[in-house]
Amino acid sequence: MKNYLGRIILLVNDYEEAASFYENNFGFTKIYDVTTDVGQRFLHMGTDPLDALGIWFLKADSREQRERVGNQTSGQPTMVIYTTKLEALFQKLKSNAVKIKVEPVLTPEYKFFHCFDLYGNEIVVVEIKD
C-alpha cells in the first residue's frame, strides 16, 4: 500500500478572489472545479493538473467558519510553497502588493521568505534546486 498527500483545505470568503490570488501570484491553475446539483462547489487548484496535490478551497458558510478564514492555524504558517526561483517570485509578489512577513533569508544551506495570502494565511516560500 502507498499513501499520498492529496490537498490542503483552505477556508475562503470567495472562490473567485481566492483562485485569482493563487493564480496571479503563484501560477496555480484550476485542477478540478465542479458545483454539485445541491449547490456545493469543489474548487481544487495546484501547479500540475496531473498531480492531486494542491489547495481545496471551501467557502466559509457559518459565522464560526467565517471567523476562521485567514486564521485556521492560529497564527502559524498554513502552507509551504516551493519554488526554483525565489528572488523572481519575491519580486513578483512585492509588485502585486502581497504582504511580506519575513524578507528573504539567503544562506548557502537554504533560502526562504514568509508572506500572507489575501485572507492573512501565512505562507512560507522555500527555494529548491531545479
- How does pLDDT run across 68-100, given as a tens digit for each residue? 999 999 989 999 999 999 999 999 999 999 999
Domain of residue 73 covers 7-127
In the chain, the number of structural domains is: 1
For residue 102, the domain's CATH number is: 3.10.180.10
Indicate the pTM of the whole model: 0.91
Residue 1 lies in a domain: no
The contacts of residue 97 (CB under 8 Å, 6+ apart) are none
Residue 20 lies in a domain: yes
Residue 2 lies in a domain: no
Residue 28 lies in a domain: yes
What digits encode the pLDDT tens for the residues 35-48?
999 988 999 999 88
Residue 17 lies in a domain: yes
The contacts of residue 35 (CB under 8 Å, 6+ apart) are 41, 42
